[in-house]
Structure 1
Amino acid sequence: MGEVVNAIVASSLHSLILRLRSTGSNASAARSPTSALGFRPKNVTQEMVDQIHAMFPDIPQDNIRYDLLRTGNVELTSNKILEKGFLDAPPPAYYTLYPRTQGQAQANQQFVANATPMTPKDNLISRYRLQARLDTAPELSENEVGGKAKWEDTAEKREASLRERKAQMILAARQRLLSKQAQAEGGSSASSQNS
């Protein structure tokens, strides 16, 4: 009978030790950046984040850092912003590994407070001050609008290039809207003449 009790105690201790080891390894795996983010993060310095944030101040620093963790390259991240116009927001696991500092939270709140909301009377033409270019804007094909960005030598040239691409996209969108409205008016007047 004593041997049976010893065997039960030994097996329960053995299972307890196995459970403790498995929960310990899961806890350490959950804390590793590779398992939390789903990729092996590259080395990112604050200078890299600041460099991109200086070029694109409307992109949150957390989004920039998250994309840099993936790419590890300022140029790739900048090109992604130029092509897409935004960067994906980091997942919740990112904030457990890279918690926001008090300064970042205040900067984000200040950015939101300073952002001017668009009123219903406001439009992109007036917001980007493109009224003077409305009459002089050439007709652009879909392939010419925006286009692929060329990496410029200086930050000022990159910023000017981005501004020009935004202006072209806004003006092209306006042209499309006006042509659709003209087609709709032409179709409705033709149908009213037929009846």
Structure 2
Amino acid sequence: MGEVVNVLVAFAVIVFVFKWATSSKDSPADAQSPAAILGFRPKNITQEQVDTVHAMFPDIPRENIHFELLRSGNVQQTSNKILERGFLPAPPPAYYTIYPRTATPDAPRPGPAANTNQNKSAPQPKENLISRYRLENRLDSSAASSATEDPLKWDDSPEKREAGLRERKARMVLAARQRLLAQQQNQASSSEASST
């Protein structure tokens, strides 16, 4: 009988030591693992994926995009979610323990964006459609071109279709400009008539 008690006590000590050894090894690792903190196993993503989604949707914060990509792991699913909802939810506070906030969320890159960030104090002129599509030289001839519009046709080559679409876009911008000028003239003449 004494041998059975010794075996049971030895077995209980071994089980206790085994549980203590495994729990002390796993506990800190689990507490610090991203899966334990975030509540899901994050997917492997690259900075290029975050940049791709941010380029398509610049009004969505990078942290929101990064968190959603960690969940889905797919740029297309993340983009579809933005298109369906119109936003991405902000990451939980636990996210920032693994991925701390950066001092500047969007680092200025060389190019026009960097120039606008550097000259925030100087007022920037608003770009209108005429200057965006470089139609300044066509402002005078817009009245004649809008009257002679050709019917919509589908060209065979992609280059011709692209050129045709660019031309139609230019005509639409010029026609909208003419309508705006006519509306402004009507408002000016009606305000002059009402003041007299």
Q: If the TM-score is normalised by the length of the shorter chain, which range does it land in?
A: 0.3 to 0.5
Larger Rg belongs to: 2
- Relative contact order, higher structure (CA 8 A, sep 6+): 1
